[in-house]
Structures are given as structure tokens and as C-alpha cells.
């Protein structure tokens, strides 16, 4: 056949199912491709254009696709192998044709390496996801089919490699798309190169008996036909032989010889009603001897995917066993088209099934039957993997990530150590930012360094996958243990205040083990660390300790009443005031060692503040800021009390966190609280509480209770808050 004859045949094939196809476009696509590939030869010596022509023929014959698909099939190699560009194709034909050709070229460029099963599944998904338009993958499969049909001229190495790819990628995709015939052919062609000996054995054995088999098939089919007609059961009978690869797999899996395979032949009887299915079964078992244990009723008990049929294996009259499948027309369509047929029947209000996700498959199949093909197929978009993205590692592994994933997600999906040591990322060889959104087929490379500081808390917001976020959280839990303990401790102590239990009582060896038992932690540090990284909350801890704490509080009050001799009324009923622990709080009290120190609640001093102490009755020294109204110079002179003011100073061993509060006066606007939280978080400030009081004139005041390291940290926080638009004034409350 000459090239032009080959083209004429293509036009005829298209005309037969789509008389209104755009033959002008198809012809000019053919002519453009012929010119572009001019001088190029295939491995067998023929002109290159014979290949695109053959691919277009498959696209038309097997898939009955629209004009643009036929044109794109003719042009499918011009971007990859000639000077032609997307722009050019777009101008000459249409942007759709250009997109289709480019889509096919992209798939052609993907390099496969054989991997374990999970990797292959990811590759298949990536291919489908990359196709975006279903027609791209259909043209690509047709391309592969023709290449497999003409594989004999390739080197043995290439034959093996392509066959493996076909077996692992393209045959399963064809199956998924409901293209059984193409799938079988791809499998058989692949087997031919992957196991030439095994393949030849099957083919030659089948070949040797071909006449015998054909005769057997015809005779059996006629027998069944005749009997069913006599009984006036409306039916159709089909006979088929298993294809070589399916026989091969059975022999291999079940370790059987060809003769031992029962269902080399299968007949299918399609009838009108479920009742007839069982009638036919009776007839078959009457005609032939059933083989025990081979009957399966998938009508009574359908397969999980909805498949229904009666299966039985019987012994033919001349000793050849064969399988018979009996089903109704509806069951038949479901078996052939899977979920797509389900959908169709659900529309008619008969069956049930999964739609939505597979709707495009349904439309694809409808399109193959219907007349107004083009309209449908144009709207086909692949959204099957819309929530996933598939990218390559530098060595060709496919990582399957959440759609919208960033290099951070990728790094943590490789290994948490990769994420924790990441200092940069490259996509397709170029440096990108950490919030870059990965696309299908991207090759992603993570740059790591031993000296990396580890993840930043901002990464938690950038990462799209819960896996990455939880790994980042893990890192903070482990690496920032000190910080977590300090934060957790501050939160716990703040919460404890409400219960009126002093820290020193919690630390008491008589109380501590019981309290820890309530929260199931081995030590206070463990509890603090857990609160600090967010695995547990101070509120919960205190809640669980409630009963125990109440007992301790009562005990504490009784002790105090007994020990402290006060002039005037004993203050047993006075509510227990929050207290802070001793001098390891970082306070040096002049002339006194080891005395109880608490920070006054009115002005909440922090390290770095100028401070002064006041000796209370029974509560040790209360520390005020020097500028606190309650410690104002005139108050220090109140007769009878002068002697109780005492000089205090900060030691060198201050704690890592001190509770204090801030008042932020602002003009209320949306997202103000968000900005305030952001300022607190960027300054690493632990927030104990935030309250907002609004006033009528759209102004308001935030009262922040926070833990800080000292006055420098506090100043930093105040500066940050002051920079927020809408914030008018930030002050430390006192007095």
C-alpha cells in the first residue's frame, strides 16, 4: 500500500463513523506531517510518515475519536522530532490540536526505569494526570500499540525495555480505560519480547491445534445455540479463546501445562432476564458434564466491583473442558464497561454505582457509540487525580503528593531528615522558593546541609500535607526541648494559679508522684515538654489534677493558719493568692537567703526591669517594678511600713520565661487579632491569654497575658505590636 493509499484508507475509516469530520483539517495535518518528517526513515526502512498514519488509523478504527484527535495523531511526533512548534500548529490547525500534540510529546519525554509495584502505580497515575485531556493518553496508547506492532526492527535491548514499559504502564492504563482489545494486544506483543520462548511455546501449541480448536468452538457454539432455540430462550452466544498472555499467566501462576488449563475456551451466553440465566445454566449442565467445584454464582453474590454472572466449567463431548458465563444484557454491559455502565443504569433508575470520579469514562464510552462525538469529547478533562500531584526525584522515583504540595512536602515525603536539613530546592534544575507549587512531572531536588538550622515554624503554614506538618512538629518537640519545657512550665504555672496551689506544694515529694500519675507523665519536665510543643495543654493537665489539687490547697490553707501568727483576724478565709517560687526565680533579696519570692500581679516585673521588694505577712517578698504605683515613693514612706521595703535585684540565673501582661489600644478592624498573633509568634512569645474589650467608637483594647524572657524581649514584642496598622498604644499595666 502506498502512503497516499494509506491516507485514503484512514479517511474512509473516519467517514464511516463520522461523515461530518473536518477532512480539510485532517488532510492538511497529513500533508504537514509528511513534509515535516520528509527524509526521516523508520527502522524498517519505510518513510517515517507511515507511523503517524498508522497511529491515526488506530485512533480512528479502535477508538473512533474526533477530527482533532485524528489530526493530532498524524502530527504526534512533529514537535518531538522536527522543527515544528506548538505556536505553528496552533496557527495552522487549532490550539486544541497543538495542545494534544504537545501533551503526547510530554509523555514521550518521560523516562521510565523499572521499579517496584508501588512506583509503577504512581507512574501510571502520573501519566494519566499529565494527560489532562483524555485524548492525549488515547493517542499515546495508539502510538505505543503501533510501535509494539513494529518492534521487530529494534535492538533486543530496546525491545525488552519498551515491552516492560508497555506491560507495566500502558496495558494497565488501557484496561482502566475499558479498552480490553488493545490491552490484550499490548500484553501479547510485550510477552513476545519479554519471554520469547514461553510466548512461542503457547503460540505454536495453539497454532498446531488451531483447526481442531476452531472446529470445536464452532460445533459447541452451534450445539448451545440449537438447544436454546428449541427451548425458545432468546439469547446470544459468543465464543472466544484466551489470549496468549492470559494463558501464560495462568500457566505461570498455577504452575500448569497448557493442557491442564481448564478455561482455554470460554463461551458467553447473554439473555434477557435473570430467570433465563438459571434456565440456561440448567440447559448447559444437561448438555455437558459440569466439573465439580467450578460453579460460581456471581448473580446471587456479585463481586465487589459489581460484576454479575453465572460461571460454570463443563466437560465437552470430546473431553475438552470449557467455561460458560451466563448473564443478562445489563450485566454484560457492566462487565464490559465497568463503572461507566453502572452510571448508565443508574440514570435509568435501575442499578447503583459510583459516578462522578469516573464520569469521563462513561462519556468516553458513550461517545464511541453516539453520533455527536466531537461535542462530548471536547469537554473531556481528566480530573481523576485532581487532588494529587506526581513529581520525580532526581533518580527517577515518582513521589505522589497532595495537590498544591511544595518542596517542603516533597522533602518530608522523602525522609524527615531531608526536610529537617533542607536549605534550598531546585525544580527542573532551577532554584525555587519553598512555597513553590509543584506540578506534574516536575523533577524536584532538595538541597540539604549539615549546618541547616532545621525547619522554621512558618513551614507549618507552607506545607500542604499533614505528614510534613507532623514531622515538623516532631522536630520542634525533640530539638526545642529546653524551650518547650520553659514554655510548658510557664503555661502550667499560670494555670495552676487559678487553683490556688503554690508551686512549691506541687513540687513537694509527698504530692508530686500522685499528681504526675493523674496525667500519666514520668516527670514534670516531661509534662512541661509535652505542653510546650502542643501535644498536651496546661488546662487539661490541671483539670486532671483537680481533685488532688483541691486536697493540697485545703491542706495548704490549714498549714498556713496553724503556722502564721497574725495580728488581728487570722486570714484563713482569705483566698489563696498566686505565688511564685523562691529565689531560684532569679531574684536576689538583699540580706536574705532562700526566702519566698513572688512577683506582684499588679505590675508583673520581668528580668531587666528595675525592681523593689516588699516583705509581706506570710508570703515572703513581693517584687514590684520600681515604677509601679503600688511601690511609688510616697507609699514607701507610709509610717510603720517603711521597714518592709527591701532592695532586690535580678540574679544571673533568671528563668527562661516570666508571665507579664500588655495592653494594646487600637482601632478595631478585621484581622487585627490575626496580625497581633503573628507579631507574638514571630517574636517567639508564648501567649497565655488574650482578651478584647471593645468600645463603642470602634476602638478597643486587647489585654495580653504573655510569657517573656525579660525586658529586652518584652521591648521587642512591644515594638512589633506598635508597628501593626491600627495599633495606637502598647503599655504595660501596673497598679
Give me the residues that bind Mn ion (CB under 5 A), please.
Answer: 77, 143
Q: Minimum distance between the CB of residue 115 and Mn ion, rounded to whole angstroms? A: 24
Q: Measured at CB, which residue is nearest to Mn ion?
A: 143
* Buried/exposed 154-172: b ≥16 CB within 10 Å, e otherwise: beeeebebbbbbbbbbbbb
Q: Minimum distance between the CB of residue 377 and Mn ion, rounded to whole angstroms? A: 21
User: Directed axis angle between helix 3-17 and helix 50-61, to 10°?
Assistant: 20
At 393, phi and psi to the nearest 5? -85, 165
Q: Comparing C-alpha atoms, which of 650, 569, 658, 668 is closest to residue 608?
A: 650
Distance in angstroms (rounded) separating the CA atoms of residues 155 and 148: 13
Q: Minimum distance between the CB of residue 144 and Mn ion, rounded to whole angstroms? A: 8
H helices of 154-305, where? 156-165, 171-176, 180-194, 196-208, 210-230, 244-254, 274-287
Distance in angstroms (rounded) separating the CA atoms of residues 76 and 101: 5
Cell of 331: 450485566
Reply yes or no on whether 80 is catalytic.
yes
Name which of 50 and 416 has its Cβ closer to Mn ion.
50
Contact 710, 657 (CB under 8 A): no
Torsion of CA 491, 496, 497, 498, to 10 degrees: 110
Q: Comparing C-alpha atoms, which of 351, 270, 273, 284 is closest to residue 312?
A: 284
- HSE-CB of 386 using CA atoms within 13 angstroms: 8
Q: Minimum distance between the CB of residue 143 and Mn ion, rounded to whole angstroms? A: 4
Name which of 51 and 332 has its Cβ closer to Mn ion.
51
Name which of 77 and 493 has its Cβ closer to Mn ion.
77
Separation in Å, CA 362 to CA 140, 184, 345, 376, 380? 20, 21, 11, 11, 10
Q: Minimum distance between the CB of residue 146 and Mn ion, rounded to whole angstroms? A: 7
Q: Minimum distance between the CB of residue 104 and Mn ion, rounded to whole angstroms? A: 8
Name which of 138 and 714 has its Cβ closer to Mn ion.
138
Neighbours of 30 (CB within 10 A): 24
Separation in Å, CA 462 to CA 353, 443, 455? 38, 20, 11
Question: In the beta sheet, which residues pair with residue 667?
Answer: 699
Reply yes or no on whether 286 is catalytic.
no
Name which of 77 and 445 has its Cβ closer to Mn ion.
77
Q: Is 396 left (phi over 0), alpha (psi -120 to 50) or beta?
A: left
Distance in angstroms (rounded) separating the CA atoms of residues 643 and 553: 31
Name which of 153 and 252 has its Cβ closer to Mn ion.
153
Cell of 624: 514590684
User: Directed axis angle between helix 156-165 and helix 134-149, to 10°?
Assistant: 150
Q: Minimum distance between the CB of residue 124 and Mn ion, rounded to whole angstroms? A: 20
User: Directed axis angle between helix 244-254 and helix 196-208, to 10°?
Assistant: 110
Residue whose C-alpha cell reads 474512509 in the numeric block: 12
Name which of 66 and 77 has its Cβ closer to Mn ion.
77
Name which of 66 and 143 has its Cβ closer to Mn ion.
143
Residue whose C-alpha cell reads 512591644 in the numeric block: 718
Name which of 77 and 133 has its Cβ closer to Mn ion.
77
- HSE-CB of 151 using CA atoms within 13 angstroms: 24
Options 81, 201, 458, 627, the catalytic residue: 81
Q: Minimum distance between the CB of residue 71 and Mn ion, rounded to whole angstroms? A: 15
At 383, phi and psi to the nearest 5? -125, 20
Separation in Å, CA 357 to CA 113, 121, 369, 370, 672? 29, 18, 21, 22, 41
Name which of 51 and 124 has its Cβ closer to Mn ion.
51
DSSP of 582-645, one letter per residue?
SGGGTEEETT-SS--EEE-TTT---TTS-EEEEE-SSS-EEEEETT-GGG-TTGGG-TTTGGGE
Distance in angstroms (rounded) separating the CA atoms of residues 631 and 634: 8
Q: Minimum distance between the CB of residue 369 and Mn ion, rounded to whole angstroms? A: 28
Name which of 76 and 713 has its Cβ closer to Mn ion.
76
Give the neighbor-by-neighbor strand order of the sheet with 430-432. 430-432, 422-427, 444-448
Options 80, 195, 366, 388, the catalytic residue: 80
Q: Minimum distance between the CB of residue 407 and Mn ion, rounded to whole angstroms? A: 34
Task: Count, in order, helices (H) and strands (E) of the chain.
Answer: 31, 21
* Buried/exposed 96-133: b ≥16 CB within 10 Å, e otherwise: bbbbbbbbbbbbeebebeeeeeebbbbbbbbbbbbbbb
Name which of 145 and 499 has its Cβ closer to Mn ion.
145
Q: Minimum distance between the CB of residue 8 and Mn ion, rounded to whole angstroms? A: 21
Q: Minimum distance between the CB of residue 41 and Mn ion, rounded to whole angstroms? A: 14
Catalytic residues: 80-81
Amino acid at each position: 500500500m502506498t502512503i497516499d493509499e494509506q491516507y485514503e484508507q484512514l479517511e474512509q475509516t473516519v467517514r464511516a463513523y463520522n461523515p461530518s469530520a473536518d477532512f480539510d483539517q485532517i488532510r492538511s495535518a497529513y500533508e504537514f506531517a509528511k513534509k515535516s518528517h520528509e527524509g526521516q526513515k523508520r527502522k524498517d526502512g519505510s518513510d517515517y510518515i507511515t507511523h503517524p498514519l498508522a497511529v491515526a488509523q488506530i485512533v480512528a478504527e479502535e477508538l473512533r475519536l474526533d477530527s482533532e484527535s485524528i489530526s493530532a495523531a498524524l502530527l504526534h511526533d512533529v514537535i518531538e522530532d522536527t522543527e515544528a512548534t506548538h505556536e505553528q500548529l496552533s496557527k495552522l490547525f487549532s490550539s486544541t490540536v497543538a495542545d494534544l500534540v504537545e501533551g503526547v510529546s510530554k509523555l514521550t519525554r518521560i523516562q521510565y526505569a523499572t521499579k517496584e509495584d508501588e512506583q509503577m502505580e504512581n507512574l501510571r497515575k502520573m501519566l494519566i494526570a499529565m494527560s489532562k485531556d483524555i485524548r492525549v493518553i488515547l493517542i499515546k496508547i495508539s502510538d505505543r500499540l503501533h510501535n509494539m506492532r513494529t518492534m521487530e526492527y529494534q535492538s533486543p535491548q530496546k525491545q525488552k525495555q519498551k515491552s516492560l514499559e508497555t506491560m507495566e504502564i500502558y496495558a494497565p492504563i488501557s484496561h482502566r480505560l475499558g479498552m480490553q482489545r488493545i490491552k490484550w494486544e499490548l500484553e501479547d506483543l510485550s510477552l513476545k519480547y519479554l519471554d520469547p520462548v514461553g510466548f512461542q511455546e503457547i503460540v505454536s501449541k495453539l497454532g498446531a491445534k488451531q483447526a481442531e480448536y476452531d472446529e470445536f468452538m464452532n460445533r459447541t457454539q452451534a450445539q448451545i445455540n440449537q438447544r436454546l432455540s428449541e427451548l425458545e430462550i432468546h439469547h446470544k452466544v459468543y465464543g472466544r479463546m484466551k489470549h496468549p498472555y492470559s494463558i501464560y499467566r495462568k500457566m505461570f501462576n498455577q504452575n500448569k501445562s497448557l493442557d491442564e488449563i481448564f478455561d482455554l475456551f470460554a463461551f458467553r451466553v447473554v439473555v434477557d432476564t435473570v430467570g433465563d440465566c438459571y434456565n440456561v445454566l440448567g440447559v448447559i449442565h444437561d448438555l455437558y458434564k459440569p466439573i465439580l467445584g467450578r460453579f460460581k454464582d456471581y448473580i446471587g453474590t456479585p463481586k465487589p466491583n459489581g460484576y454479575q454472572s453465572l460461571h460454570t466449567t463443563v466437560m465437552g463431548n470430546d473431553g475438552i473442558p470449557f467455561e460458560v458465563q451466563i448473564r443478562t444484557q445489563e450485566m454484560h454491559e457492566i462487565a464490559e464497561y465497568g463503572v461507566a455502565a453502572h452510571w448508565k443504569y443508574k440514570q435509568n433508575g435501575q442499578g447503583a454505582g459510583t459516578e462522578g470520579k469516573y464520569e469521563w469514562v462513561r462519556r468516553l464510552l458513550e461517545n464511541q457509540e453516539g453520533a455527536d462525538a466531537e461535542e462530548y469529547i471536547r469537554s473531556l478533562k481528566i480530573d481523576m487525580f485532581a487532588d494529587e500531584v506526581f513529581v520525580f526525584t532526581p533518580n527517577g522515583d515518582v513521589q505522589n503528593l497532595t495537590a498544591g504540595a511544595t518542596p517542603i512536602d516533597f522533602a518530608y515525603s522523602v525522609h524527615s531528615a531531608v526536610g529537617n536539613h533542607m536549605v534550598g530546592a531546585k525544580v527542573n534544575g532551577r532554584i525555587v522558593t519553598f512555597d513553590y507549587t509543584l506540578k506534574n512531572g516536575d523533577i524536584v531536588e532538595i538541597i540539604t546541609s549539615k549546618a541547616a538550622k532545621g525547619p522554621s515554624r512558618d513551614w507549618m503554614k507552607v506545607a500542604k500535607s499533614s505528614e510534613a506538618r507532623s514531622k515538623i512538629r516532631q522536630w520542634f518537640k525533640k530539638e526545642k526541648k529546653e524551650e518547650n519545657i520553659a514554655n510548658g512550665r510557664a503555661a502550667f504555672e499560670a494555670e495552676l494559679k487559678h487553683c490556688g496551689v503554690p508551686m512549691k506544694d506541687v513540687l513537694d515529694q509527698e504530692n508530686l508522684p500522685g499528681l504526675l500519675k493523674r496525667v500519666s507523665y514520668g516527670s514534670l519536665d516531661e509534662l512541661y515538654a509535652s505542653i510546650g510543643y502542643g501535644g498536651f495543654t496546661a488546662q487539661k493537665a490541671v483539670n486532671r489534677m483537680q481533685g488532688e489539687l483541691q486536697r493540697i490547697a485545703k491542706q495548704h490553707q490549714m498549714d498556713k493558719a496553724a503556722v502564721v501568727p497574725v495580728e488581728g483576724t487570722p486570714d484563713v478565709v482569705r483566698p489563696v493568692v498566686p505565688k511564685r517560687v523562691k529565689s531560684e526565680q532569679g531574684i536576689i533579696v538583699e540580706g536574705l537567703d532562700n526566702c519566698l519570692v513572688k512577683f506582684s500581679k499588679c505590675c508583673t516585673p520581668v528580668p531587666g526591669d528595675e525592681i523593689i521588694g516588699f516583705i509581706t505577712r506570710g508570703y515572703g517578698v513581693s517584687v514590684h517594678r520600681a515604677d509601679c504605683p503600688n511601690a511609688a515613693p510616697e507609699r514607701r514612706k507610709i509610717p510603720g511600713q517603711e521597714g518592709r521595703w527591701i532592695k532586690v535585684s535580678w540574679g544571673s540565673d533568671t528563668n527562661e520565661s516570666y508571665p507579664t501582661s500588655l495592653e494594646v489600644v487600637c482601632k478595631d478592624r478585621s484581622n487585627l487579632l490575626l496580625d497581633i498573633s503573628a507579631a507574638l509568634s514571630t517574636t517567639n512569645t508564648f501567649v497565655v491569654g488574650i482578651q478584647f474589650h471593645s468600645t463603642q467608637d470602634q476602638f478597643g483594647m486587647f489585654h495580653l497575658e504573655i510569657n517573656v524572657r525579660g525586658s529586652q524581649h518584652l521591648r521587642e514584642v512591644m515594638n512589633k505590636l506598635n508597628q501593626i496598622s491600627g495599633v495606637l498604644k502598647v503599655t504595660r499595666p501596673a497598679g
